Each structure stands twice: as C-alpha cells, then as structure tokens.
Amino acid sequence: GKAIIAERYTYLPYIGLSFIVGMMLDDLLSKKKLFRVAGIVMGGVLILLSLYFIRSTCERTRVWNNDITLWTDAIDKYPDVRLNFLYEKRGKTFVHNQQFEEAVEDYQTVVKNDPRDENAYANIGWICGQFLNQPDKALEYLGTGYKVNPENIFILKGLGIAHGMKGHIPQAL
C-alpha cells in the first residue's frame, strides 16, 4: 500500500534493534570458544548483509535521476500490480513539469484500475480544463467523478471552472 513510501520512519527504531544485536554479539564474543565462533559467524553475516544493502542502495541512486525516472522504474518493476499511487505520483510530477498529456495518461490508468477513484477524475478534469483548454473533456471526467462523490470539493470547483469556460454561468455558479 501507500505506507511503503513512509519506510523512512523505520530508521530511528532500527537503532534500538541494532543496539540489541550489537550487545548480543559482544556477549557472544566475550564467552567461551564455541560462543566466540558463533559470534564471529554472526558478525560476518551482518557484514555481508550490510554490503548487500550498500550495493542495493547504490543501484537505486542510479535510477533516481529525477522523480519521473524513479516512478517509471517502480511501475516497470511491478507491471502486474495495480499500484495506483505510483501513477498518481508520476502524474503529479508530470503536471509539475508541464507534461500534461502524460499526466492525463497516468490518471487515466488510475481510473482504469479503480473506477471509483474520485481524485483521479478530478485531476484529469483539472488538467483538461486548466492547461489543455479542453472544457468538454474536463466536464466529462468531472461529471463521472461527481457521480462517484458529489461532495468532493475539487470536483465541484473543477465543474464550476469548466462550465465557466464554456460560458454556462448558471451551472458554473
């Protein structure tokens, strides 16, 4: 789910876990010969794991040239999984970079994966209305989003703007 992005919050708790493992390793190394061998093996395993994670981190930094390459790589790695938040993040980045057609494609993928995602409809409508000057297409998507949730403030605002662009002032109001 979306919580995987918040993995950065796990680093601080790992200090406690690392302290416990370090104390166990220290205890094993200070005991008899048999336990000392087990401690050396455990230390070797920890060093190998650390090297593996260092290598993995270096590989990921090669991919992360910018947000688009990062999200595209994640989408390419998990093509069979409907991780809509990856498309949402990349779509938001496309909008930020003024690549509006690409953003619409990503949000359309979200809608295809989850036809009840009201925010994807709102985003497509907003992009079509604000940036692509396509009020008819904006009204189509915003209307569908309105059917999903008629109380979504972003959909209501988008409908007002799109109707205003078409000169339908009573509906816009």
pLDDT tens for each residue of 114-172: 999 999 999 999 999 999 999 999 999 999 999 999 999 999 999 999 999 999 999 88
Residue 138 exposed, middle or buried by CB count within 10 Å (0-12, 13-18, 19+): buried
Please indicate, yes or no, whether the overall pTM of this predicted structure exceeds 0.85.
no
CA distances from 160 to 3, 45, 156 (A): 34, 62, 6
CB 163 within 8 A of CB 171: yes
User: What is the distance between the alpha carbons of residues 163 and 75, in angstroms, rounded to a whole number?
Assistant: 35
pLDDT at 5 over 70: no
